[in-house]
Structure 1
Amino acid sequence: MTNADRFLGRAHAYAAARPDYPEALGAWLRDSGLLERGVADVGAGTGLFTRLLLTHGARVDAVEPNPEMRAELESSLQDAVNAGQLRVHAGTSEGTGLETASVGLVTAAQAAHWFAPAPTVTEFRRVLKPGGRVLLVWNDWRGEDTPLNHAYGEVVRKHSDVSTPEAVSRVPDAELAGLLPGGYAQRTFENAARLSRERLHALAGSVSYLPAPGSPGAPALARDLDALFDAHAQAGQVTLSYGTHAYLGRLDR
């Protein structure tokens, strides 16, 4: 199974349930001038981060290997496609299909932990304009110290696929140099997701290493999610706290 194939059948749940990215992150990118020379959003998925880039004025080439996620992205952002602000490509971090020296910023949100560092760096160097930068972003609920986060973590550990690769959430800081060999600066933004019961179920259904909707393991996962929700809900929702970790770096040593 390829990394892209891990998300087959999960695109709708992904688009419906995954958390957005903080407006403060988009404003920081805009105010830093990083969006002015074009952006390649690689591993764009269903377009959650692509939307943030577009909202803050970027011209975006979205690259995504999974056909279901790519279709979801293109459908949800059709207005930007029609306006010429967004182009959607079938491609990977190792072969984006983009023109050489065509963008000033490459972004990868919730995706770079699936990339092979060496060929990815080679490809990013090819598509970046001189002085271009790379931004890696992850929304991560792990490490956020709340009762709901701890309870959700227990459910995830109980139901995770035993064959899941170790790097399923984000690249550890100690390994980031493989993707950002020229060094990087880090910023973290608070990001809370308010979840209904249905969105909590969809969130789990969007995770590649948890039982897929309709699979044999799905009913047991659903029961544990219901128990979690009943124990923690207030006014019909629970709040899963995320840290949005942004790493802005260069490729040249």
Structure 2
Amino acid sequence: MTSPDWSATSADYAKHRQGFPARFYELIEREGLFAPGMRVLDLGTGTGTVARALAVRGAEVTGLDPARGQIEAARRLAAEEGLAERLRFVEGLAERTGLKPTGFDLVVAAQCWHWFDRGLAAAEARRVLRPGGALLICHYDWLTLPGNVAHATEFLIEAHNPRWRMGRSTGIYPAWATDLALGGFDALGFAGFDHEAVYPRAAWRGRIRASAGVGGAMDPEGVARFDAELAALLDARFPEEPLRVPHRVFAIWGRRP
């Protein structure tokens, strides 16, 4: 799978992509995966949505991403939020982080596991975790139900980018259990829940511009054409303000023995 040019999406990504809801962070605390004071590595950090949320909750976080534009946006947002002392952001690959072994209590891969060489990424996560530390893989996906705005939006993405093949997700990823087991993790667990995300219509357009199939794959002219058609679609079929878009949170984890 070809990775998108995430740096091209950074402005919209930083402004419009919603992070995991508060209930997700309550879940990982309840499951014993996270506690204040932990050292956390956030793989594929993007603009640092999860990294910043964990820093607010008392973690010391390293955010790693190969896209320079994403790292620059993450650093700016962390500084604006007064989190720079608890966060550092570095360019790098999940499969070869270059970080010291056994340096982290928790490794998180949020919205990104499918972009990695999963076997190598699992092995690297195991290397940088302390014994008993956890690798947490999680997603926050919109749900395409017949006739809803996500369903209509996906059809429009496919019309503009026929090579995009990431639609119709159920938001559940059972194959990741095998990734964890083959990576040498045990005590596997999983959890999830559905959540209704609220998007002003302009923010939904920005969210979609920041997605892999649009901003990460099209040139600026193509993105502008797509965005104009999405605006027209929303005017014609989804005039309500704001939009309410069903999402699903899925999390699966294992521990380094």
TM-score range, shorter chain: 0.7 to 0.9
* Structure-2 separation of matches of 1:32 and 1:185: 9
Provide runs of 4+ in structure 1 moved above 6 Å: 167-172
* Structure-1 separation of matches of 2:176 and 2:109: 13
Structure 1 residues 168 and 53, CA gap change in structure 2 (3 angstroms)? farther
**Match of 2:238?**
232
Secondary structure of 2:202's aligned partner:
helix
Secondary structure of 1:173's aligned partner:
coil
**Match of 2:114?**
113
Task: After superposition, give the CA deviation of every residue in 1:8-58 in whole Å (9 maximum; x if it has no partner).
Answer: 211011111112211111122234442343111111000111122122222
Letter aligned with residue 241 of structure 1: P
Task: After superposition, give the CA deviation of every residue in 1:104-160 in whole Å (9 maximum; x if it has no partner).
Answer: 110011111101022112211110000111111111113556622322232233223
**Match of 2:254?**
249
Secondary structure of 2:27's aligned partner:
helix
**Match of 2:25?**
26
Of the structure 1 ranges 95-104 and 126-135, higher mean CA displacement relative to structure 2 is found in 95-104
**Aligned-residue offset at 1:77:** 0.7
Alignment RMSD, CA only? 2.7
* Structure-1 separation of matches of 2:153 and 2:108: 28
**Match of 2:204?**
200
Secondary structure of 2:14's aligned partner:
helix
The count of residues paired between Structure 1 and Structure 2 equals 247
**Aligned-residue offset at 1:208:** 1.9
Percent identical among aligned pairs is 26
**Aligned-residue offset at 1:167:** 9.3
**Match of 2:173?**
173
2:66 matched to 1:65?
yes
Structure 1 residues 172 and 246, CA gap change in structure 2 (3 angstroms)? closer
* Structure-2 separation of matches of 1:169 and 1:93: 24
Secondary structure of 2:220's aligned partner:
coil
Letter aligned with residue 198 of structure 1: A
Q: How do 1:95-134 and structure 2 match up within 5 A? A: 95-134=96-135
Letter aligned with residue 6 of structure 1: D
Of the structure 1 ranges 93-102 and 221-230, higher mean CA displacement relative to structure 2 is found in 221-230
Q: How do 1:213-228 and structure 2 match up within 5 A? A: 215-228=220-233
**Match of 2:11?**
12
Query: Which structure 2 residue ranges, 5 or more long, are not aligned?
Result: none
Letter aligned with residue 60 of structure 1: V
**Match of 1:157?**
158
Secondary structure of 1:113's aligned partner:
helix
**Aligned-residue offset at 1:239:** 1.8
Q: How do 1:50-89 and structure 2 match up within 5 A? A: 50-78=51-79, 79-81=82-84, 83=85, 85-89=86-90
* Structure-2 separation of matches of 1:241 and 1:227: 21
Structure 1 residues 93 and 171, CA gap change in structure 2 (3 angstroms)? farther
TM-score, normalised by the number of residues in structure 1: 0.85
TM-score, normalised by the number of residues in structure 2: 0.84
* Structure-1 separation of matches of 2:143 and 2:167: 13
Q: How do 1:132-147 and structure 2 match up within 5 A? A: 132-144=133-145, 147=148
**Aligned-residue offset at 1:168:** 11
Query: Which structure 1 residue ranges, 5 or more long, are not aligned?
Result: none
* Structure-2 separation of matches of 1:24 and 1:138: 13
